[in-house]
Amino acid sequence: MARMPWLRIGVTTAIAAVIVWRVPMAALGSAFRTVRVGWMLAALACVALMVLARWCRWHRLLAAGGHALPFRDSARSMLGGFTLGAVAPGRLGELGRCLFVSEAARPPVLLLNILDRALDMWALASCMVVSLMALAPRPYGVFSLGVWLALLPVAMGLPALVPALAGLPWWGGDFRKKLAASAQSLRAIRIAPFAAWAFLSTLLDLMTFFCLLRAFGEVDFRAALVTFPWIVTAGGLPLSVGGLGPREGVAAMLLARFAIPSAVALDAALLLHVFSGLLPAAAGALWLACSRSPASLREIRLPESLLQGP
Predicted pLDDT of residue 124 = 94
Predicted pLDDT of residue 300 = 46
CA distance 297 to 145: 46
Length of the chain (residues): 310
Contact by Cβ (8 Å): 8, 246: no
Instruction: Report angle CA 113, 235, 108 to the nearest 5 degrees.
Output: 5
* pLDDT tens per residue across span 30-56: 666 678 889 999 999 999 999 999 999
| Lowest-confidence pick of 187-196, 216-225, 240-249, 296-305 | 296-305
Tell me: pLDDT of 225 over 70: yes
Instruction: Report which of 159, 204, 203 is spatially closest to residue 183, judged by C-alpha positions.
Output: 159
Quickly state the pLDDT bin for 254 (edges 50, 70, 90).
Answer: very high
State the amino acid at position 178 in one-letter form: K
* pLDDT tens per residue across span 272-288: 988 998 889 888 888 87
State the amino acid at position 171 in one-letter form: W
Torsion region of 91: left, alpha or beta (phi above 0 gives left; psi -120 to 50 gives alpha): left
Contact by Cβ (8 Å): 148, 202: no
Q: Is 310 exposed, middle or buried (0-12, 13-18, 19+ CB in 10 A)?
A: exposed
* pLDDT tens per residue across span 227-252: 999 999 988 776 655 666 778 888 98
- CA dist list (Å): 91 to 9, 52, 103, 206, 239: 16, 19, 23, 18, 12
Contact by Cβ (8 Å): 240, 8: yes
Mean pLDDT of 97-122: 88
CA distance 171 to 98: 15
- Half-sphere exposure in the Cβ direction for 254 (13 Å, CA): 25
108 three-state secondary structure: helix
Q: What is the mean pLDDT of the chain?
A: 80
